[in-house]
Amino acid sequence: MRNMNRGAHPNPPEVEVVIEIPRGSFVKRGSTGHVDFVSPLPCPFNYGSVPQLVGLEGDLLDAVVLGPRLPLGTRTRVKAWGAVTLTDRGMSDDKLICSAFPLQPSERRGVLRFFHFYAQCKALLNLWRRRPGRNACEGWCEASEAIDRARPRDEAWQGPTVRF
């Protein structure tokens, strides 16, 4: 696992995030609005994407927004304090971790705990769906590293090429 004790960047990047899954929602939607699945557990965070950037797996760069529940479709500019890298079916994907304020160490640990648990749940879901490949939370990295791995979205992008 990457070192999660590194200090937060003093000037974290700010990104625009569109909320696809409000905190507390059971419905998991993708960046195109399509329902991926209905979870037995509510999402503990506002989950969305950065509409200007395409992540490693070909979908919009994922972003988690900590704080109170934001309605579906909300567009918000927020600071990205770090990122978590998740492997799903052997494909790596970064998730920016965003908040109005720097994360406390306990919040960072909580986010990592969630994504370790989420990777295990996705492994079970993928097994049930007969979609092979490794699933794991790879740990924490700087937000700038995740943004640098993404590519700008252009007019040619028509949505994800991989079914989730």
The pLDDT score that the predictor gives to residue 163 is 67
Task: Judge whether 112 lies within some domain.
Answer: yes
What is the DSSP code (8-state) at residue 123? H
Task: Judge whether 146 lies within some domain.
Answer: yes
The pLDDT score that the predictor gives to residue 40 is 80
> pTM (2 decimals)?
0.89
> 76, 65 in Cβ contact below 8 A?
yes
Residue 30 vs residue 144, higher pLDDT: 144
Q: What is the pLDDT of residues 73-126, one digit of tens each?
A: 999 999 999 999 999 888 899 999 999 999 999 999 999 999 999 899 889 888
Residues spanned by the domain of 76: 14-150
Task: Judge whether 140 lies within some domain.
Answer: yes
Spell out the alpha helix ranges (H) of 4-142.
Answer: 105-128
Is the pLDDT at 3 greater than 50? The verdict is no
Rounded to 5°, angle at Cα 147 from 16 and 92: 115
Is the pLDDT at 1 greater than 60? The verdict is no
SS3 94: strand
Task: Judge whether 49 lies within some domain.
Answer: yes
Q: What is the pLDDT of residues 4-59, one digit of tens each?
A: 444 455 789 999 999 999 999 988 877 777 787 788 888 999 999 999 999 998 89
The pLDDT score that the predictor gives to residue 96 is 98
In the chain, how many domains are there? 1
